[in-house]
Amino acid sequence: MAKASAPGKVILVGEHFVVENQPAIAAALNLRARVLAEVLSGDFRVEVESKNLSQKAVFQREKANKESPLYPIYYAALMTLEYIGLQKPLKIFIDSEIPPAAGMGSSASVAVATVAATAAELGVKLTLEEVSRLAYQAEVIVHGKPSGIDNTIATFGGAIAYRKSEGFIRLEADFTPVALILADSGIPRSTGEMVRRVRALKEKYPRIMDPLYHAAGHLAIEAGKAIEEGDWKRLGELMNVNHGLLSAVQVSNRVIEELVYAAREAGALGAKITGAGGGGNIVALTWKEDGRKVADALRKISRKVYVCDVSAEGVRIEG
Amino acid sequence: MAKASAPGKVILVGEHFVVENQPAIAAALNLRARVLAEVLSGDFRVEVESKNLSQKAVFQREKANKESPLYPIYYAALMTLEYIGLQKPLKIFIDSEIPPAAGMGSSASVAVATVAATAAELGVKLTLEEVSRLAYQAEVIVHGKPSGIDNTIATFGGAIAYRKSEGFIRLEADFTPVALILADSGIPRSTGEMVRRVRALKEKYPRIMDPLYHAAGHLAIEAGKAIEEGDWKRLGELMNVNHGLLSAVQVSNRVIEELVYAAREAGALGAKITGAGGGGNIVALTWKEDGRKVADALRKISRKVYVCDVSAEGVRIEG
């Protein structure tokens, strides 16, 4: 039996604009998906059980039910088995602290931890690059053509900058002085709808949106510098500006604004939509000592508030 | 005795960005400042009475109290008398529908109507350009170095585009199908503070703000086209995008967002901050038949809601 865990993520700046090759920055959270892998006896199969979903399923190559929400987990394990070249029957048990479908990279963290636990159970040491790449294949099953941000951050931890044309850069940063507070709007995310809305606006008003996207790109670059310099006030300010740009591309709404301003009024250094918008979460950056105050203010209007640290550590084999 | 009136104004797009030579668009509202001018007998003096301010004052050249809120009105009348070359004692009576200090151009409308009523009372016909220029001199007393938008729109009515380097262009438009709803945030305007905040941000992040200002400039150009084409849905959409840009330069707040989204949710074509932000009014564009519905939604959270038409007519000599 082997255990592995991987962190969830939050997008700090650049969502939506990243689609048009502007940079974005994501950070790992100290909410983790934990996965236990155990070789079984008998015929080849992968038994997947998720504590969070209260679901169990058994997958076998030809008979695997692709509609199952557990299928991507099976797929991550299968990719790992095939990569290693050992076809052992497996049991995969998932216990995740990361809320699903919240833009916090839950599926990628589970995939990364599944790959790592599977390899560890088979006594094989994969590089981080290998873990990330195998998890990405499972992400493709879930998301079609994901950017790769989620599996990269779940694998490597810390903070990374990403740009389509340039790939990933790890940011050297010490997030110790700050906390990230996430608060759920209670409105289901509608990533597809939001992406379509933003694209339509961009196509309709290229002469407005092109410079706006450039502004967003420069913002992400400035935010990367602020993170590396530990200039958290500046990062907060840039997050606030970024939020306005997301409001300009019409992915905010009344509830999101209420959360964003509640966080700022309670002393957050910055607060913004994180992810696709239209619902989902906001993220606030605070000094660590102000985390509780900001979280309390948000709890008055949000039913799910997460007080997080940035996790320097990515995927990890557990004791 | 002569009477004149002039309309108030609302900025539809481009506020703040106009400072850096981006275009802005303003429209005249069917809220009017009415001014009555009457030649008195006796020594030279200008008696000014404002019904709205419940104030009266008498001004004589050397002894004129420059601290009086009525001084700019005296000054408008004086400039007109000097321009005409007739030094008659005058009584000026003001009755304005335009809320003062609300970003609706109240002082300029009063100045324009004062100039027009004064000239009419002296039997002199001024051109609109002359009226506007004389009113501007009184605006300088109030505002230091105003753009000239307010006196221009109060004089000419309708909608105008303005750009520092290019001056004014009258937009050919028929606003009949739409209404403009203004709603007061209840937070006093702080134009100076907001202008300083925006300037500081621009100086701190030129590589973000320069393209953002370009986006705002193109937005105003697109909005001008939409107005001339009567494409009100498009104008509304552009106002929404403009609001996001104003949010990005940090002049919005929780109350403003609440008003903006209440208007949009009630069916407004667009809604945004108008003027400096930080307080003051929001403006919503609606189909005329939706005006009441949007106004009702706003009245639940704003104590001062104005349902306005765009006034094609500028300054007018009354009956």
pLDDT one-digit tens code per residue, A50-63: 998 899 999 998 88
Using the 3D structure, point to which of B133, B155, B172 is the last residue of a domain: B172
Segment A249-261, tens digit of pLDDT:
999 999 999 999 9
Does a structural domain hold residue A314? no
Whole-angstrom Cα distance, residue B233 to residue B224?
13
The H or E element that residue B258 is part of is: helix B254-265
Residue B314 lies in a domain: no
Task: Inspect the interface and report whether the beta carbons of B257 and A254 lie closer than 8 Å.
Answer: yes
Distances (CA, A) of A118 to A6, A110, B21, B25, B251: 13, 12, 61, 63, 52
For the cut 90, the answer to whether the pLDDT of residue B13 exceeds it is yes
Using an 8 Å CB-CB cutoff, list chain A residues near B257.
254, 257-258, 261
A282 and A209 housed in the same domain = yes
Confidence grade of residue B50 (pLDDT, cut at 50, 70, 90): very high
Asked if residue B189 belongs to a domain, the reply is yes
Q: Which of residues A172, A191, A212 is at a domain's end? A: A172
Q: Provide the domain limits for residue A215.
A: 178-308
Residue B288 touches partner A, C-beta closer than 8 Å: no
- Is there a contact between B249 and A253 if contact means CB atoms under 8 Å apart? no
Q: Are residues A24 and A95 in the same domain?
A: yes
- Which tokens is A100 given? 């699903």
- Contact assessment for residue A284 and residue A183, using Cβ atoms and an 8 Å cutoff: yes
Task: Work out the average pLDDT over A300-319.
Answer: 96
A24 shares a domain with A168: yes
A212–B212: do the CB atoms touch at under 8 Å?
Answer: yes
Distance in angstroms (rounded) separating the CA atoms of residues B182 and B161: 20
Alpha carbon A9 to chain centroid distance? 3
User: Is pLDDT of B171 > 90?
Assistant: yes
Q: Best mutation site among A22, A212, A261 for testing chain B: the one with the most B CBs within 10 Å? A: A212
Q: CA A258, CA A260: separation in Å to the nearest integer? A: 6
Q: Determine the number of helices (DSSP H) and then strands (DSSP E) in chain A.
A: 9, 12
Q: Which residue has the tokens 């810390």?
A: A158
Same domain, A220 and A133: no
Residue A226 in tokens:
């602020």
Domain boundary, last residue among A172, A201, A232? A172
| CATH code of the domain containing A241 | 3.30.70.890
Looking at A43, A95, A150, A290, which residue is catalytic? A150
3-state secondary structure of B182: strand
Each residue of A30-39: pLDDT tens digit? 999 999 999 9
A157 in a structural domain: yes
Domain check: are B39 and B154 in the same one? yes
Residue B261 within a domain: yes
Contacts of A204 (CB under 8 A, 6+ apart): none
Q: 3-class DSSP state for residue A248?
A: helix
Using the Cβ of A249 and the Cβ atoms of chain B, whether some distance falls under 8 Å is answered with yes
Mode of pairing for the β-strands spanning B90-96 and B46-50: parallel
Asked whether residue B3 carries a pLDDT value surpassing 90, the answer given is yes
Task: Say if residue A233's pLDDT is above 90.
Answer: yes
Q: What is the DSSP letter of A20?
A: G
Check CB contact under 8 Å for A219 and B211: no
Q: What is the CATH number of the domain that holds A69?
A: 3.30.230.10
**B32 domain residue, yes or no:** yes
Quick one: average pLDDT of A104-130?
A: 97
pLDDT tens by residue, B269-315: 999 999 999 999 999 999 999 999 999 999 999 999 999 999 999 99
Is A150 among the residues known to form the active site? yes
**Looking at CA atoms only, how far is residue A238 from chain B in angstroms?**
9
The CA distance from A59 to the nearest CA of chain B, in Å, is 47
Chain A contact for B241 (CB, 8 A cutoff): yes
Cβ distance of A254 and B253 shorter than 8 Å: no
Check if A219 contacts B (Cβ < 8 Å): yes
Mean of pLDDT over chain A:
96
Nearest to B248 among A210, A244, A253 (CB): A244
Q: Could you tell me if A258 and A160 lie in one domain?
A: no
Output the six-digit token pair for B112. Answer: 């324009």
- Residue A33 and residue A151 in one domain: yes
B113 assigned to some structural domain: yes
pLDDT at B146: 87
In DSSP terms, A183 is beta-bridged to A282, A305
A246 touching chain B per CB within 8 A:
yes
Q: How far apart are CA A42 and CA A18, in angstroms?
A: 46
pTM summary value:
0.95
Are A56 and A167 found together in one domain? yes
Cβ-based burial of B237 (10 A; exposed 0-12, middle 13-18, buried ≥19)? buried
User: So what's the pLDDT on residue A86?
Assistant: 93
d(C-alpha B228, C-alpha B171), whole Å:
6
Contact A252 B246 (CB under 8 A): no
Q: What is the pLDDT of residue A102?
A: 86
Q: Which two tokens stand for residue B304?
A: 């001062």
**Same domain, residue pair A115 and A138:** yes
Q: Which two tokens stand for residue A157?
A: 């931890």
Task: Name the 3-class secondary structure at A129.
Answer: helix
Helix and strand element counts for chain B (H, E): 9, 12
Q: Is B15 exposed, middle or buried (0-12, 13-18, 19+ CB in 10 A)?
A: buried
User: What does the DSSP 8-state code read for residue B310?
Assistant: B
User: Residues A157, A116: contact at Cβ < 8 Å?
Assistant: no
| Number of structural domains chain A divides into | 2
B294 — phi, psi (to 5°)? -65, -40
Chain B closest-CA separation from residue A186 CA (Å):
17
Q: Which candidate from B212, B253, B265 shows the least CB-CB separation from A254?
A: B265
* A202 confidence band (pLDDT: 50, 70, 90): very high
Closest CA relative to residue B115, chosen from B72, B66, B158, B55:
B72
Q: How far apart are CA A177 and CA B99, in angstroms?
A: 48
pLDDT of residue A49: 97
Residues B182 and B145 occupy one common structural domain = no
Q: Does A44 fall in a domain? A: yes
CB pair distance less than 8 Å for B265 and A247: no
Half-sphere exposure of B27 (CA within 13 A, CB side): 29
Please give the helix or strand (H or E) that residue B291 lies within, else none. helix B291-299
DSSP-based three-state secondary structure for B43: coil
**Same domain for A92 and A13:** yes
Same domain membership, residue A106 and residue A50: yes
Token pair, residue A250, equals 């019409």
First to last CA, chain A: 11
